[in-house]
Structure 1
Amino acid sequence: MSPDFPSAHPDDPHYISRSGWLRAAVLGANDGIVSISSLIVGVAAASSDQTSILIAGLAGLVAGAMSMASGEYVSVSSQADIEKADIKREAAALKENHKEEFDELAAIYELRGLKRETAEQVAHELTEDDPLRAHIRDELGLSEHQSANPLQAAFASAFTFSMAAALPLLAAFFAPSDAIIMTVLITTIAALIMLGALGAKLGGAPIVPAAIRVLIWGTIAMAITACVGWAFGVTLD
């Protein structure tokens, strides 16, 4: 909520303004945990050389963080380009067909439950000072809280990927050479649960369903990795 307006429940704020960076952060962290754990498990299943395992994990961490950053930046930039193009078209339409655009906005309010007269009055008052802003918000469905921010998404994703990927890498580093796979798997499960809980906490969502969801999908990814190893005659012993 904007600081210009008082909140009816200041002790229970909305978290929609966090949706942009929180989505990228959770995505990066989840990918970091699962991909690096899977990489370490795969390499450890084929080789017991701890140095090789750690080098592979570190290389995966660096490459993954750069990939997440560039991927988020490119994808969110594409979203931002679409938003800017739509805003530009809407601005041009307001100049060329002001009456038609006004009627369209009033119709939107009418569809939301207002009487026609009330909808026209609301449209008139909201467009009196800044008509483009009203159309961007109510016709295009865009707001400053949800607008695409490529740099923010890229940094959040790369940072959380690196921090999360470091967990299975550290587990492999400190684990006995004959227990790397099991140590990494246990660390991964714990990390996935914590990630789901933390993401839900930061977003003001229920913690248990989020933790279970992240754990299940992360475990599925790890199980597929184990199945690939078994398919080539490698066990987790």
Structure 2
Amino acid sequence: MAAGALLSGCGLKSIPESGSAQHSKGLSFEYVGDSGEDETINQMLVISNHTMGAVVPTLSFRAIDKNDHVLPQVEVSTVFGSDRGTLVASEGDGYDILRFTGPGQHDVTDVEVTVQSVETARFLGGSAVVTTQALDSQGRDVERFERFSKVRLTNEDDAPAMVRVAYIVWDQPAEGDTQQATEVTPVGDLVMVPPQGTAVVDVTGAAAAAVARNSRGPAVSIKAYPSQ
């Protein structure tokens, strides 16, 4: 039976043993609604993997308000898929981004996490952050706010990285509210970025339509995240 742990922004708490005991007791989490620093992601779930290898958790969440009460009408989902088993948690610290929808979504100050399962990752790649750069059709660097045709991925680690890419559109929150991802579109599929190397992903289909629709408009990000 899976067990949950209440997470607060003031520090990490290890989760109780649950579904896959050999891994789950080596994971801990921290919810950071707003770091207080400019140009940082809101509604972030920091996932710390204290085990000796990369794992794939499947998590579920309940939203909590400032009085430690559950907000039953708020649905919690993720950008990178830690609730769907698509995010790989490498050794050390990684993160996902939470999305809140439903009545009370602006009252969330914390989350309760339940580990439904944990599996060993199929691809044991590097743990370094893979960076992204938007490119035009000629392969030249452009701003992510422009209309772009490709994304260059750069891996500075000494091991290959298996990643997926997400094009994220953000809202413009009222003062005091956290910024939320309102639209998330996959760019390409799973891609291997070689050690100390780069890979280029074409922007096609739904991703191309999303870029065309949102270029020169709202705040956007292009994020690569470890996956399988």
Q: TM-score range by the shorter chain?
A: under 0.3
Q: Choose between structure 1 and 2: higher helix proportion.
A: 1
TM-score norm. by structure 1 comes to 0.23
TM-score (norm 2): 0.24
Question: Which structure has more RCO (C-alpha within 8 Å, separation ≥ 6)?
Answer: 1
The structure where strand makes up a greater share of residues is 2
Give the structure with higher Rg (CA). 1
